Amino acid sequence: MRYGYGRPALKSSVDVQLQTAFSDGNWNSVIRLADKRAKSLKDPYYEAIKVSAESQLDGAAERGAVLNAIEDLVKQKTVPDIDTIELYEWAAGDFIGEEIEYADTLGPLRVKWAKANPKSPLAMGCLQSCLEYWDLVSAQQISTALDKAHLNSGDRRFMFWSITLTFLLSISPQCSGPSRKVYSLLVAKQLERAAEITENTPKVETKDRGLLTEEEVCLYYRVLLAHGNKDDFVKRVRSGGLGALVLLEKGHKLLFWECLDALEPWGEWDLIFDLCRQALRLGVKGVTAPFFVCDLQVWKRFIAAASKAADPEAALREVQDILKEFFAIETKTAQMYKKNLSLALLESSFRLSALAQDSAQGDTGMTPRVVQIGLLLDDCFDKLAAFDDVKGYVSILTFEEAKALVDVILPKMFDSIPDKARQVILKSLICKIRYLLATCPQTLSRHPSVVDGETQSQPYRCRFCSNLTSLPCRHCLQEIITEAAETYKQITADQELQDLIPRLDKDPRQDLALVVGTSLLKLSGLKASSSSASGAPLRDVQPELLLQAILLLDTQLGKTPADNGLRLLLAQLCLLIGTTSYAQQVWIPMDVKRTIQDALSPLFFDRISTLSPALFHGSRPLMQPLRSYYGNSLGNAPPLKIWDAFSSGSYTSILDLSKYDSRLRTSCTLVMTLVEEARATRSFGSKVDIEIADHPLARDIEDDTLLINKTDYGSFPNLEGPLGPQIQEFVRLGPELSNERAHIAFLTEQFFDLLAYKPPKDYKPARPHDAAIRDRNYALESLTRLNHSLANLIHIPSLPTLLTGPEMTHYNVVFLLTSALLASLSTARGDPTPKTLAPVTSSIRTALSSLRTSCYHSCPPRMPPTLFALTDMHTVAHLRETALAVKHSAGFILAFHERELARDRSGKSALHRDVVSEMKALEAVGSKTLAETKSHLQKLKELLGEGGWLDRILEWTFGREEEEVEREGEGYKAAVLDIVGGRDAAEEWAGKMLESWRDGVKGWLMVRWD
Amino acid sequence: MANFRRFRPEDLNKLSKCNLDPLTETYELGFYLQYHAKWPSLFQVAEDQYGNIIGYIMGKLESSPDVYRFSEHYLPWHAHITAVTVAPEARRLGIGKLLTEQLEAAADANDTWFVDLFVRSTNYKAITFYKSMGYSIFRVVKDYYGDHSSDPTKSSEDAYDMRKPMKRDVKKEHIREDGEKFEVDPSDVW
């Protein structure tokens, strides 16, 4: 009997004295008494008690004795004693997964016992134990034995445990390729037999071996999808006994959904159309609840399938007929479903119009689909999700249709609203739609890119305003800003309106500020991170517009602090301009904790060590919540709650939990957590507790592991068209997390770990010569592995689009360093100079030099140099990291050389003199760069200590006070000032920015520079 | 605008619209997965057209352990609503009601006597919502919450244990008219 992870109970036949000593943990007494009993009673169980008690002592030999005992037990041909297995499993707990593998030792012992005693309740305990160590091979064997032993028990779980485990094994790396094939055939056959029983039995009873419950049927379909073929799947979906609609009629929707998911990639549109039609009709006829499958996704698939039918027009008309039936069902249905129906009608209008290919009706643009958008908005424009509902449709309208929407339908709707509050809501929606259209390419027409022999910077003409432009139209954006700001002012000036706002779903000023803010960001020249991977992120940006946007969004957040979309946007922008400590203040109130960290933490923590290492010096370790989340969730071998799913008969949940567990173990956010923390630890010269590759959370990460990014951008307030880059692409510092970046960063940390390794001080090898050879071989092996792995990544053609420019340079240098170190260590003193070394070191110097240039000599003319320096700490961080890598690599080689010289006076085992001189030169370059960078930051700190900064920041934001007269086309500056409350009010914000920049620079001077 | 379907673990990567709202608690991973493992049909989500979760309900089926069978606080086989939340942008569309109705359907399918839930006694909006759906106060659990949602000077707050009878309870034996008058201690609540 096991009690969780605690001590097992001893057999009841054991005497009280020994029982008491055992339960008290009085191990020396247990050993003495058990030894005595073993000798007198000749019962090996007492020997097992003794060995288990010894495992609790401190001595390595005593602790390890249980491993030998287990090995002996495995070798025995007889069925082991279950109590002995329990004892050994408890005693060997710390060694499992380290010294011994459960699947090779205790798992097979449990299998042997369970097979001999399948009807015993303890056999189920054996299954549970195997699952606790995620030993699927043993668990599957036990479950098969249990199933055979309980054929007529009526407990269906045994049969489906066996099937589920066979399936898990058939897709698990725990099983070799050929075995996987056998298991996949086996599970498919088992379930096929069960499916036939269900199809051919009028009423399946509990005792039958057919498929009965929703979970059992869904398990069958999952297996069919994984191991069957399309035809079998399709045949079964259509069948009368186990078809997708059968369960639907019984009130179970899961299978219907999963079938649609499976059929879509196969292009089985006829079947999708038929299933959706029948399913929806079940609701109309009252077989199921009316709106049971009235989900938008079902309608969208139904409509997509109709548009691919042989006679699409007729099919789409049928869709619309069914829609009408739903509209007619009742008026008191939930708003949610009414909206789904309206959106489905809109979707079908778009499909129909695509068929007619006459979306533009003459010059008016008043097509049925535009009218449909108007009708939908008329119904729900005051709902928070109205913009998101129509965004996808508006963005694919032709220009004529868009113009009709903006010039005719929306103004008409506006005029028909008597209520002032609802008017401003519509006004803010109109601003959002106008912004959306300004980002859509169909609103521009091509203009000759070369006129009179001169290349034009604005190769388009905006069809709304007729101005020459690039995408998005600057003139339109300026107009949108002015209009949104005007409405914003109107609300602020109208007390009656302000009194009405609490009754609305949302203060319209939030959306208006967002329109102004994002328009300013676009006008500033901010590019999507995927399109501007190289160089400083703000190199081509008009700083004043970017700062105005940040000021405005910050002001709005101060007024509506519950707006998390705005908060996310502002936090990212603050990271982008280097006001990191302020970004943290903006981030914290969202209280991102526990489960949502994996999806949301990258929005703040990604690259954080390259922006502000000072944040790691807070009262609580910065990454601790993330680390503890992963520790709690992945600390044990099996997926969390897997036994709960087994014992509840939730077979699809078992598969889901297993899949999710694998995903979480290979999360990019997890690697980000380890890398950021390791970098910060190195920055401050703190002792690394554990090398990154040995971290327990990294145990599933191999070179070929696909690391998955699941960052959740869903809460970003996106006004962008769905076909172009989304707002997060513009405000993020560089490309998002990726498999490649996670791997290359992880390998780079391993490289730094190798360079930093020092043997314990008291380590004195008995045979120094052998030890030196071992050390050299170890270094060569490690470097070869790292060099090979890094080469595979560095040579990926798309890598530059997945990294920032400084990252690309840094990782390239690290790769080159592994090559240089390999060449250095593998060249004997008497060999010719390695030919590869000079070009490699030359490339390293060039790369370092280009980073220096990026840092110190590339400030664009329109950017104030101090602002450029403050907003580009990411490059500074990589210059420092690269210089450190160069310096430490050279130091690593030179230290090796010195050790060899000291050990072997003949000098034969020392390194080549050219290598040594090359490394000395590299070390000097690294040191010089570090000193230079530190001095650069020191100067920056001194500069920030001077007075007059608030004025200067406001000058960066709005220009000089005396120059505040608008330049042509900048009519919006006054509008921004109005919203934020004037220049004086902006001063408070400038103070916050200044403070944060100062904090950041101060933090950089706290890191180690030697 | 929305789909209703069973929760899938990967939905945990799309919770921000619900869980960044301060009124929605974020739990440890095991808590969500336990519900998915044990009562998958009682863990339902609403998702928007972009795959974001805009509402969810977590429920379970249970009865008090047998040892309490003769206690006056014994709870027979019933469904319990552990959490129900709707993202701010998706409110006023009836999503909370639809999710609750779906859980009630599952409760009926599992032949339960009633559905119950706990709500802060000052959460008038939620109480009104549940009353409109047929729930009534069964008892007041004194000082159930270790803080007070609206009064920082108080260190605790009562909970209302609200119930709605299911089809099985034909005689309406498991609800009472004047539940506000029945006060119990948190230790009486299983």
Contact residues on chain B for A652, CB-CB shorter than 8 A = 40
Are the Cβ atoms of A594 and B26 closer than 8 angstroms? yes
Over residues A819-834, the mean pLDDT reads 92
DSSP letter, residue A405: I
Are the Cβ atoms of B8 and A650 closer than 8 angstroms? no
User: Residue A966: is its pLDDT beyond 60?
Assistant: no
* Closest by CA position to A430, among listed A492, A478, A473, A387: A387
Contact residues on chain A for B8, CB-CB shorter than 8 A = 656
Contact residues on chain B for A590, CB-CB shorter than 8 A = 20
Residue A3: which pLDDT band, with cuts at 50, 70 and 90?
Answer: very low
Contact residues on chain B for A279, CB-CB shorter than 8 A = none
Distance to chain B for A644, nearest Cα, Å: 6
Instruction: Provide the CA A36 distance to its chain's centre, in angstroms.
Output: 59
Q: Chain A interface, mutation test: which of B49, B54, B100, most A Cβ atoms within 10 Å?
A: B49
Distance to chain A for B183, nearest Cα, Å: 34
Nearest Cα residue in chain B from A709: B13
Contact residues on chain B for A394, CB-CB shorter than 8 A = none
ipTM: 0.97
Size of interface A-B (CB pairs under 8 A): 169
Are the Cβ atoms of A297 and B1 closer than 8 angstroms? no
Contact residues on chain B for A297, CB-CB shorter than 8 A = 3, 49
Percent above pLDDT 90 for chain A: 86
Burial B120-152 (b: 16+ CB within 10 A, else e): bbbbeebbebbeeeebbbbbbbeebbeebeeee
Are the Cβ atoms of B37 and A254 closer than 8 angstroms? no
Distance to chain B for A387, nearest Cα, Å: 11
Contact residues on chain A for B49, CB-CB shorter than 8 A = 296-297, 343, 388-389, 392
Distance to chain B for A102, nearest Cα, Å: 24
Return the pLDDT at A1.
Answer: 36
Cross-chain CB nearest to B16 (options A254, A335, A715)? A715
Using CA atoms, how far apart are residues B157 and B50, in angstroms rounded to an integer? 38
Return the pLDDT at A357.
Answer: 63
Return the pLDDT at A908.
Answer: 82
Report strand pairing: B78-86 vs B114-120: parallel
Contact residues on chain A for B98, CB-CB shorter than 8 A = 334, 336
Return the pLDDT at A967.
Answer: 55
Is B188 at the interface with chain A, CB within 8 A?
no
Are the Cβ atoms of B3 and A295 closer than 8 angstroms? yes
Using CA atoms, how far apart are residues A461 and A443, in angstroms rounded to an integer? 9
What pTM does this model have? 0.96
- Ranking A52-66, A134-148, A298-312, A351-365 by mean pLDDT, the lowest is A351-365
Contact residues on chain B for A251, CB-CB shorter than 8 A = 105, 109
User: Residue A463: is its pLDDT beyond 90?
Assistant: yes
Report the SS3 class of residue A503: helix
Return the pLDDT at A358.
Answer: 54
- Residues of chain B numbered 25-54 and touching chain A (CB < 8 Å): 26-34, 36-41, 46, 48-52
Which residues touch A915 (CB under 8 Å, ≥6 apart)?
A823, A824, A827, A833, A834, A837, A893, A897
- Ranking A657-671, A804-818, A851-865 by mean pLDDT, the lowest is A851-865
Percent above pLDDT 70 for chain A: 97
Contact of A969 with A468, CB cutoff 8 Å: no
pLDDT tens, position by position, A155-180: 999 999 999 999 999 999 999 989 99
Instruction: Provide the CA A560 distance to its chain's centre, in angstroms.
Output: 28
Are the Cβ atoms of A656 and B91 closer than 8 angstroms? no
Cross-chain CB nearest to B30 (options A336, A593, A641)? A641
Return the pLDDT at A833.
Answer: 86
User: Residue A387: is its pLDDT beyond 80?
Assistant: yes
Return the pLDDT at A975.
Answer: 87
Contact residues on chain B for A663, CB-CB shorter than 8 A = 10
- Residues of chain A numbered 195-224 and touching chain B (CB < 8 Å): 214-215
Over residues A422-433, the mean pLDDT reads 97
Over residues A976-992, the mean pLDDT reads 93
DSSP secondary structure string for all residues of chain B: -EEEEE--GGGGGG-HHHHTSTTS----HHHHHHHHHH-GGGEEEEEETTS-EEEEEEEEEE---GGGTTSTT---SEEEEEEEEE-GGGTTSSHHHHHHHHHHHHHHHTT-SEEEEEEETT-HHHHHHHHHTT-EEEEEEEEEESS-SS-TT-S-EEEEEEEEE-TT-TT-TT--TTGGG-EE-GGG--
pLDDT tens, position by position, A241-250: 999 999 999 9
The residue type found at A997 is W
Return the pLDDT at A265.
Answer: 97
Are the Cβ atoms of B52 and A562 closer than 8 angstroms? no
Is A251 at the interface with chain B, CB within 8 A?
yes
Contact of B84 with B57, CB cutoff 8 Å: yes
Over residues A800-808, the mean pLDDT reads 95
pLDDT tens, position by position, A537-550: 788 899 999 999 99
DSSP secondary structure string for all residues of A578-619: T-HHHHHHHHGGG---GGGHHHHTHHHHTTHHHH-GGGGGSS
Is B65 at the interface with chain A, CB within 8 A?
no
User: Residue A307: is its pLDDT beyond 90?
Assistant: yes
- Ranking A443-452, A579-588, A666-675, B48-57 by mean pLDDT, the lowest is A443-452
Distance to chain A for B149, nearest Cα, Å: 17
| Tokens of residue B87, six digits | 């993202």
* Closest by CA position to A508, among listed A425, A435, A567: A425
Q: Which residues of chain B have pLDDT under 70?
A: none
Contact of A883 with A806, CB cutoff 8 Å: no
User: Residue A674: is its pLDDT beyond 80?
Assistant: yes
- Ranking A432-441, A853-862, A910-919, A938-947 by mean pLDDT, the lowest is A853-862
Residue A766: which pLDDT band, with cuts at 50, 70 and 90?
Answer: confident
Are the Cβ atoms of B20 and A336 closer than 8 angstroms? no
User: Residue A904: is its pLDDT beyond 90?
Assistant: no
Residue-averaged pLDDT of chain A: 94
Distance to chain A for B184, nearest Cα, Å: 31
Distance to chain A for B137, nearest Cα, Å: 25
Which residues touch A224 (CB under 8 Å, ≥6 apart)?
A188, A191, A232, A233, A236
- Residues of chain B numbered 116-145 and touching chain A (CB < 8 Å): none
Are the Cβ atoms of B1 and A339 closer than 8 angstroms? yes
Return the pLDDT at A4.
Answer: 37
